[in-house]
A = this chain, B = another copy of it.
Amino acid sequence: MAERFFQHVFPNGLTLLAERMPAVQSAAMSFLVPAGTSNDPADAGGSANVLSDLILRGAGKLDSRELTDHLDRLGLQRSSSSGLYHTRLGCAALSSRVMAGLPTYADIVRRAHLPEDGFEAARDLSLQAIAGIDDDPKQKMLIALRERHFPFPFGRNSLGVESELKALTVDRIRQDYAKRFHARGAILSFAGDVDFITLKSEVERLFGDWDGSPIITLPGKPAVRGVHHQDQQSEQTHIGIAWPSILETDPDYYTVRLAVEVLSGGMSGRLFTEVREKRGLVYSVWAGYSSLKEVGSILAYAGTSNDRAQKTLDTMLAEFQRLTEGVTPAELQRAKTGLKAATIMQGESSGARAGAIAHDWFIRGRIRTLDEIKDAIDSVTVEKVNAYLKANPPGPYTIVTVGPKPLEVGR
């Protein structure tokens, strides 16, 4: 049987990953370049986000319009975004089309034009998005929660800082591109109908001589944390709660994931049942494990009418605390089934797989098979979960609320 996975690290530090999915005709690409919000220059937050737009405005022999037309003509379903660690470029289509688009992606990350008028337009869009946050109290709360809970630079808002964006120049952004768009730390992954040998030689041809300078990291600063309220005349109060947890590479990772699944997985999760179904307190409530490479955390959210906000916060904190009393075997079984079902469904989507193997490599330095993940989930026992929860009570909490009045914590 042919191998399912392929991985190769080129001398310049570029990692190529691929997963063959025999059942599909399509292929998906996910390209992570190590220019993200966490390594934006200290005084120029939002640079990576501006670049994620600007790099598409002409590259290699194609101007902005030609580049877009060319990729549209190939029928590539595209996405681009800037994350905390990486700028991500994604595409999916019939496999041959994805391969045909690859030289253009090499131009984008290596030979982008970064034109001055394009810079002005891209920066303007960032500034508009920042202004728009004020109309969106939920987003405003989530930004503040991350900024306060995570140590700098991991809580930075990917949209950037208004004053810093205004001070940004096209020369500065061009220097930044030269510094951060390079091979070391870049991960290029494919899933679907792919041929490993062709892929490797094509990637070598296009990226073999790409600059391999070291990855940039910023010095850290401790997190602010604590309780914080932002006044906003709104119909709903938005509540965010975060607390520290273990890293994704920790042996207890699935123990924690399954405990969080009991709290908030599926419709039978405790938060959904207690806060939404039984008490009708909120329209939306969830908790989830947040995976950063350096910091593991649990983040939770609820949006609720102002008169029920205090009761909602109290109920959420009580549910978190109740975790220390443990979960039942039936709850754990459902949590396992839910997590495994999500894993199986993901295994049938080339886009999801291309993203998952890149994430695995970034966090763990290797690809995991779906069977390995399923085994890891199955090996967690109720004793293990309950011992962990007893020894690791939730907290200390970072709490952010946005609404017309502050709430009381721990009354």
Contacts and interface: CB of A to CB of B under 8 A. Distances in A.
Interface of A: 23-26, 56-57, 64-65, 68-69, 71-78, 92-94, 97, 120-122, 124-125, 128-129, 131-132, 134-137, 234-236, 265-268, 273, 276-280, 282-283, 303-305, 330, 333-334, 337-338, 340-342, 344-345, 348-350
Contact of A23 (B24, B68, B74, B236): B24
B338 A72 contact: yes
Nearest to A66: B268
B266 A72 contact: yes
Copies of the protein in its oligomer: 2
Contact of A349 (B72, B277, B349): B349
Given A24-B348, A68-B268, A280 B121 contact: yes
Given A72-B334, A348-B24, A131 B93 contact: no
A235 B68 contact: no
Contact of A330 (B25, B69, B279): B69
A344 B72 contact: no
A60 B216 CA distance: 60
A125 B283 contact: yes
A100 B59 CA distance: 53
B235 A134 contact: yes
A337 B235 contact: no
Contacts of A333: 73
Nearest to A76: B341
Contacts of A276: 125
5 contacts: A56-B267, A72-B337, A97-B341, A125-B283, A128-B282
A134 to B, nearest CB: 5
Contacts of A234: 134-135
Given A125-B280, A132-B236, A136-B136, 11 more contacts: A26-B345, A26-B348, A64-B277, A69-B334, A72-B268, A73-B334, A75-B340, A77-B341, A77-B345, A125-B283, A128-B283
Given A236-B131, A283-B129, A334-B73, A65 B349 contact: no
B132 A75 contact: no
Given A131-B236, A333-B73, A345 B280 contact: no
A361 to B, nearest CB: 24
Contacts of A268: 65, 68-69, 72
- Chain B CB within 10 Å, residue with most, of A65, A77, A97, A266: A266
Contacts of A121: 277-280
Given A77-B345, A124-B280, A125-B276, A235 B135 contact: yes
A75 B341 contact: yes
Task: Give the 7 A-B residue pairs with the shortest CB-CB distance, closest first.
Answer: A23-B23, A75-B341, A121-B280, A75-B337, A72-B266, A124-B280, A68-B268
Contacts of A273: 65, 68
B128 A92 contact: no
B341 A93 contact: yes
B267 A71 contact: yes
A90 to B, nearest CB: 13
A62 to B, nearest CB: 12
A164 B236 CA distance: 21
